[in-house]
Structure 1
Amino acid sequence: MRYDLIVVGAGPGGYVAAIKAAQLDMKVALVEEQRVGGTCLNRGCIPTKSLLHSAETVRTIKQSEEIGIHIDAITLDMNRIYQKKEQVVDQLVQGVEALIKANKIELIMGSGEIIAKGKVRVSGEIYETDKILIATGSKPAIPPIPGSDLPGVLTSNELLAQSNQYKQLVIIGGGVIGVEFASIFNDLGCDVTIIEAADTLLPNFDNEISKKLALILKKQGIKIFTKSSVASITKDELLTCTFISKGKDMSAEGDAVLIATGRKAAFDGLFAEGFAVELDNQAIWVDEAFETSVKGIYAIGDVASRGMQLAHLASAQGVNAVMAMNQTAGVYDLDLVPSCVYTAPEIASVGITETQAKEQGISIKLGKYPMAGNGKTIIAGSSLGFIKVIAEAQSDKIIGAHLMCERATDMISEFATGIANGLTIDQVTGIIHPHPTYNEGVGEAYELLTGHSIHTMPKK
């Protein structure tokens, strides 16, 4: 049987690309070794957010006395919390499987191996196709730390797979994965330590957000060491992580150590012996149309060299790659990608930061609204946070937004829409935001760009 397209990998990049190709009347096969949904659905975004929801519920109960609700004791059933996570994952996996079937895509279970241009081998069977799309994603990157192979030293894969009520958890890495798991297990009663090599947590985000997050997490009881390098991990009764922090020898103990130092492209065993594509910094090189160095073979998402490692970006790249295969313009603007972090409060970012604007020589106007004045925020008892919006001074166009507040991840798309459409300060300040909502803070930040915010104290 011959296909127009074989997609290898059924994660958020692969299955979305397969559906888009089917909608364009391409005959499509989708190859997956494990379960559809990839890392995001099975071992990443979705299971993590399920655990976050449970942790948020615990935090809300602990704070309930502030609003007159008294609960004597909280009992955690970690097995049930993880069962709920599995129920959520199973429901979404079944939904994706139904979409694949409804779009008449052939789902081939097994490990895909590209043996030549236009040929993919799965479980000994060879399938022929006009085009191949690689969407095999990424896997945890484990640095060469002595002791990283000890029992109890985990990646996010193992931490999500098996329920365990840890008393102490050491996290190596203060990026998105590290801070989210720190928030989860701290709320679930675990003593958490974060060790990060960079100067701040979330080093790729707005500087003010990175610094303020560290203060908030410390206030919640999480111990944080930045500018720190891990020397070794040893095991006695507990695991001991030895590290150097700002020139001092230090150590932290835990029932478990989570290595959260990023992810790397996963393509082991993908290419048959004697066949290869060009690589770029340990990922698959692709051009602007996501075509590799071999014509007719494309790659998207975490396995490819272009862009950040984000599920929604992989989906967008998948759609654009399929459009390019059909000599059609891409659907998505891949230069404008929102980033989200699900801590408490949430963090979301799109466009350029103040630092990037300065480095690029762009004069800016800044509107920053502290959410301590927002009604919904005060009701929720979570006044720490802000909404910051950046406009280019010369054109008045919105070019960046950085949020640290409740529902930040739900609100960031409004800013992305404004930036994508080249909206100016005058255009966005004319939008009415409903009251009372967290979203009012967006309108307040926009007004501050004009220097005439209604609900902010005037500068003396």
Structure 2
Amino acid sequence: MIVVIGGGPAGRLGAMHLAQAGAEVRLVEQRKIGGQCLHERCMTVCALNDIARLIEYARTQKDLGILDSVPVVSYPMIQKRLCEIQEKLSSVLDAETRRAGVEVIYGAEGRLEGDRVFIDDEEVRADAVLAATGSRAAIPDIPGTSLSGVYTYQTLPAMPDLPRRLVVIGGGVVAAEFAHIFQAFGSEVEIVTRHGLLRDLDPKMRSTALRDLGGVVIREETAVVSIEGRGRVRSVLLSGGEELAADAVLLATGLVPRSDSLQGLQKGPDGAVIVDRRMRTSVEGVYAAGDVIGPPYLTPAARREGVVAAENILGRATVMDYTGIPHAMSLRYDYAFATAGTDGGFTLSAPAPAGPGSFWDVAGGFAGVAQVRVDPETGRLLGAAAAVPGASMLLSYLGYMIKQGVTVDEFDDIVEVHPSTDGVYWLARHAAGLLRQRKK
């Protein structure tokens, strides 16, 4: 018997991989299968951002005189319908997981004490364990975070209606995504971040993201002293003494591995379970994958980690490789990035061509951006990025090409779909031409 603790992307994919190989697998999930990706993070952002984009596209076309009005959202109805669809998707994942041969146990806690495995208070025999207990929202040490009206991505579904004034605390992708969504919905949104907003992004991509956040007030290099109110949020007090009125506050201040139920394993200072490249923990026979092992906190990485763990449990030596795994962010356009994980090379950027989802934006003088990073000696594609409709789909394949060591010369033989918003293939061909001229 193999016990998998957690039914998110890492645990579910690992469990299915094991069962399909003929292993007896028991998956223990406290809540619902699908994890935070389905119920609180990725799919929630997808759902809300679909509506935000609809409103923004309608606003663009109204400004052009094509439409006579812009839709107004019903936030309570959004949450109602969102929950219904998440339940439907969860039932689909449950059926898929069981069809693979996995026994699923809901409403129970799986926990470890070294190599001893418990389901609630009952100790069970296990030949191997895959711990995939995920993460939780990090709560900053700021007075007032317990006030009514303060939310994280996990508690946001409890917000009864759109706030008139929303303050988002944080400077990463989650802060940017939710700020964009609620600004499109009609809230007055301010972001407060101790450092720079999206500071890890390439400067060209960051400037494009800031364009998408043009209606949001952004306060960088600013600390929050406290969240004020008597029982309920009234304002956010900043380090310079300024006070921002707020009806709601969203804490988008990062993630913390959820490893409290995993005792006897070696962990890092933040609670992340320490694993090697085969997903093995410090305890023999115990593997870990997904958010519980710490960054990069990406669903594609978690899925692959779960499969790598499963392969090693089955005795097939496999190592985890993060090369080319794409990252994504959803604002007005999709933002997606993939890299070989190496520095150096030269970078080319160019405006993206107009296509599905961006044609009418040409009237405003902007239809997105594409970017490649290339090794000047070998011509190998070291990185790619795009901020266009459909960028996420594009970077899935480009990430694989980067991992395989594809050179920009090879793009000469690719015939891409048209119409599309992709400018990466053209840029890669242009880079190849530059390198050929240099060699001459």
State the TM-score, normalizing by the size of structure 2.
0.92
In 1, are the aligned partners of 2:329 and 2:335 still within 8 Å (CA)?
yes
1:458 counterpart residue number: none
Offset of 1:111 from its aligned partner? 1.0
1:105 paired to 2:99:
no
Offset of 1:114 from its aligned partner? 1.7
Do the aligned partners of residues 304 and 253 (structure 1) sit closer, same or farther apart at CA in structure 2, a change above 3 Å counting? Answer: same
**Which has the higher mean CA deviation after the structures are superposed, 107-116 or 418-427?**
107-116
In 2, are the aligned partners of 1:19 and 1:105 still within 8 Å (CA)?
yes
2:359 counterpart residue number: 379
1:285 counterpart residue number: 274
1:425 counterpart residue number: 408
1:179 counterpart residue number: 176
In 1, are the aligned partners of 2:358 and 2:421 still within 8 Å (CA)?
no
Q: Which has the higher contact order (CA 8 A, sep 6+)?
A: 2
Offset of 1:67 from its aligned partner? 5.4
Q: How many residues align?
A: 429
Equivalent-residue separation in structure 2 for 1:215 and 1:311 (angstroms): 27
Offset of 1:166 from its aligned partner? 1.0
State the TM-score, normalizing by the size of structure 1.
0.88
Where do 4+ consecutive residues of structure 1 move more than 6 Å?
none
Equivalent-residue separation in structure 1 for 2:369 and 2:69 (angstroms): 34
Unaligned runs of 5+ in 2: 436-440
1:252 counterpart residue number: 244
Alignment of structure 1 residues 47-446 onto 2, 5 Å: 47-66=44-63, 68-72=65-69, 74-109=71-106, 110-117=108-115, 119-198=116-195, 200-217=196-213, 219=214, 221-235=215-229, 239-244=234-239, 248-271=240-263, 276-282=264-270, 283-305=272-294, 307-330=295-318, 333-351=321-339, 357=343, 362=344, 364-371=345-352, 373-376=353-356, 379-381=359-361, 383-439=366-422, 441-446=423-428
Offset of 1:328 from its aligned partner? 1.5
Equivalent-residue separation in structure 1 for 2:269 and 2:201 (angstroms): 22
Offset of 1:68 from its aligned partner? 4.6
Give the SS at the match of 2:242: strand
Cα RMSD after superposing both structures: 2.1
Offset of 1:320 from its aligned partner? 0.6
Unaligned runs of 5+ in 1: 454-460
Give the SS at the match of 1:93: helix
In 2, are the aligned partners of 1:352 and 1:401 still within 8 Å (CA)?
no
Equivalent-residue separation in structure 2 for 1:349 and 1:163 (angstroms): 35
Equivalent-residue separation in structure 1 for 2:45 and 2:121 (angstroms): 35
In 1, are the aligned partners of 2:39 and 2:86 still within 8 Å (CA)?
yes
Equivalent-residue separation in structure 1 for 2:289 and 2:256 (angstroms): 14
Do the aligned partners of residues 227 and 215 (structure 1) sit closer, same or farther apart at CA in structure 2, a change above 3 Å counting? Answer: farther
Equivalent-residue separation in structure 1 for 2:147 and 2:434 (angstroms): 59
Give the SS at the match of 1:291: coil
Do the aligned partners of residues 195 and 6 (structure 1) sit closer, same or farther apart at CA in structure 2, a change above 3 Å counting? Answer: same
2:438 counterpart residue number: none
Offset of 1:447 from its aligned partner? 2.4
Equivalent-residue separation in structure 2 for 1:430 and 1:299 (angstroms): 41
In 2, are the aligned partners of 1:6 and 1:29 still within 8 Å (CA)?
yes
Give the SS at the match of 1:286: coil
Equivalent-residue separation in structure 2 for 1:43 and 1:107 (angstroms): 21
In 1, are the aligned partners of 2:180 and 2:212 still within 8 Å (CA)?
no
Give the SS at the match of 1:133: strand
In 2, are the aligned partners of 1:267 and 1:303 still within 8 Å (CA)?
yes
Give the SS at the match of 2:43: helix
1:457 counterpart residue number: none
Equivalent-residue separation in structure 2 for 1:29 and 1:151 (angstroms): 39
Equivalent-residue separation in structure 2 for 1:67 and 1:329 (angstroms): 59
